[in-house]
Structure 1
Amino acid sequence: MIDPARATLVMIDMQRGFIDPGSALCVPGAAATVGACADALAAARRQGMAVVHVRRSYAADGSDVEPARHGTWLAGGRPLCAAGDDPSTLDCPDVLTPADGERVLVKPRYSAFFGTPLDAALRRAGVDTVVLTGTAMPNCVRSTAYDALSLDYNVAVVADATSSRTPEAQAANLADLAAAGAYVLDVAELSERGLAAMPDHLAAWPGRR
């Protein structure tokens, strides 16, 4: 069993710019997972896990938008930008509002670890297990999961609290992550059993920090 004190739930990019159908950067499956994400947050908080909210926030000139996304972003009114047509795209749904003391990080690219202090913050807190939720599975969640695995964390992915553009993409990405060593569970399991069934790959690993 993994002690919840060693785990952090990471909520990735659950902002209106990725959720609302009218946004140029909308992930079609994201809106349907807001309730599951809220339930995952509640379960993590109840069990004593730390929570980190990771978000995007683009510069007015678009200089930090991924080059492949820039054209869509610009034509779509610069979502996820305080100077864009609709600054509210930066916001999260009310049910996903960070609680007092929960950290909010802004990431410059897909992975929550890339160009952020997330790894350093987790290590300082003695965390060796991350529980991933949010959107989009094939991009930000998946890249965060692989970076976490590369950085020697135990990785869990809450399947129904993550989303993709299609059910087929969601299923394929979850299968790939499971094959790579991530533990895939659903919100019901997280709520009822926490991480009790999750294998601790670090327990007998000779390089354990």
Structure 2
Amino acid sequence: MSKTALIVIDMINTYDHPDADLLLPSARKTVPVIAGLLDRARRAGVPVIHVNDNFGQWRSHHGELLDTALAGAHAELVEPLLPDDDSLFVLKARHSIFFETPLSYLLHQEGIGHIVLCGQATEQCVLYSALDAHIRHIDVTVPRDAVAHIHADLANAALTMMERNMGARVCDSGELWS
């Protein structure tokens, strides 16, 4: 039986990008939910993997990204979701958590065949990551209240696509590790 991991997508963020004003209201609602998921996953011994954009900073490492986000105008959205000493961290350059990252290899090495995706943005990075997991035969769960969106209508469509087209389980976060 394969293990499960919680993957937090793009939540180490400065929110100074062009669509941030559209994302922020949803992110503010989602952060406490993800913080609760992180706490429950850690208590249950579920591995936590943060996969985050590098924001074009090719010389950066995760510590620099954390420092930059914590020094930004929306540090209150980053602080509750900080990686702990047991969390793993993967940098990505594009939308999918798998695109040209070592994540597939990491999941295989750790015996992880099921991932729970949370983070932002539902209709972009979460959707593309779910698709890439599906084509890799990795089971996916997406807690609908733990993903932030830019456009609610597209996010709802994305969740429907993940469920119907990719066989993802879409649920409420309270159903996980309660």
Q: TM-score range by the shorter chain?
A: 0.7 to 0.9
Alignment of 1:189-200 (within 5 A): 189-192=175-178
Unaligned stretches of 5+ in structure 2?
59-63
In the alignment, structure 1 residue 122 sits paired with structure 2 residue 107: yes
Match of 1:38 in 2: 35
Q: Which deviates further from its counterpart, 157-166 or 23-32?
A: 23-32
Query: 1:127, 1:167 → 2: CA distance?
Result: 31
Unaligned stretches of 5+ in structure 1?
63-79, 193-209
Query: 1:123, 1:187 → 2: CA distance?
Result: 25
Q: Structure 1 or 2: larger helix share?
A: 2
- RMSD (CA atoms): 2.6
- Deviations along 1:122-178, one digit per CA (max 9) or x if unpaired, are 100111001000000111000000000000101111110001123322221111111
**TM-score, with length taken from structure 1:** 0.71
Alignment of 1:52-201 (within 5 A): 52-59=49-56, 88=72, 93-180=78-165, 181-192=167-178
Query: 2:96, 2:73 → 1: CA distance?
Result: 20
How many residues of Structure 1 are paired with residues of Structure 2 in the alignment?
166
Identity of aligned residues (%): 30
Alignment of 1:16-35 (within 5 A): 16-18=13-15, 23-26=17-20, 27-28=23-24, 29-35=26-32
Cα distance change of structure 1 residues 191 and 81 upon mapping to structure 2, 3 Å threshold: closer
Q: Which deviates further from its counterpart, 163-172 or 117-126?
A: 163-172
**TM-score, with length taken from structure 2:** 0.83
Query: 2:74, 2:148 → 1: CA distance?
Result: 18
